[in-house]
Chain A
Amino acid sequence: RKEVEQDPGPFNVPEGATVAFNCTYSNSASQSFFWYRQDCRKEPKLLMSVYSSGNEDGRFTAQLNRASQYISLLIRDSKLSDSATYLCVPQAAGNKLTFGGGTRVLVKP
């Protein structure tokens, strides 16, 4: 089983709609979780961090389910500019961040 698994998508989302997708992780020792956003042919950038059960930042909500070992990201009122690949990054001990393969989201007018 891969350390981090994500549905590659793409998730085709009408502008203004809500989209949610999950990331499963295999290391039960993971304590911190991060979502990075990567635009096409650009570098990844941190979107949000999750240390407890979840986090909310504007239209973005991350929820952590430790029992089932997955973390989700929900985007409300999708904008065209939300089109990107979203990378899930769980962190266990140490300073090595293992990235998932990413979920591609395409927001369409």
Chain B
Amino acid sequence: GAGVSQTPSNKVTEKGKYVELRCDPISGHTALYWYRQSLGQGPEFLIYFQGTGAADDSGLPNDRFFAVRPEGSVSTLKIQRTERGDSAVYLCASSLSGNLNTGELFFGEGSRLTVL
């Protein structure tokens, strides 16, 4: 498809389990972002990749969260020892380059994570 693709669209897991969320950005987009959105809140920044490297990971809440983008395209957000408070929609976005003067991030439909 032409847009940002995220899988799974829904994930239900138990407290303490490990979870991986995948993002396939728009082809040719070098910048990739992960956000987290809770009900009634705006998207909360987690991490930003420029190519393969994490250019800014200041939004990751703690060391249970980790993200990779080994080949500069697909990215995986990994959450260890999940907690109920991790329940949210995890949004991935990409942009053509790291220059956000146009401000246009293209978002995927999100992965809804529910931790029981």
Contact = CB atoms under 8 A, between A and B. Distances in A.
Interface string B10-27: 000000000000000000
Interface in A25-55: 32-34, 42-46, 49, 51
Contacts of A34: 103-104
B48 A95 contact: yes
A43 B56 contact: no
A95 B104 contact: no
Residues of B contacting A: mostly:
loop
A14 interface: no
Contacts of A45: 107
B36 to A, nearest CB: 11
Residues of A contacting B: mostly:
loop
Interface in B99-116: 99-105, 107-110
A46 B91 contact: no
Nearest to A46: B104
Given A94-B56, A99-B42, A101-B41, A43 B102 contact: no
Contacts of B55: 95
A89 interface: yes
A95 B31 contact: yes
A94 B110 CA distance: 24
A101 B40 CA distance: 7
B61 interface: no
A97 B91 contact: no
Nearest to A8: B40
Contacts of A22: none
B43 interface: yes
Interface of A: 4, 6, 8, 32-34, 42-46, 49, 51, 87, 89, 91, 94-102
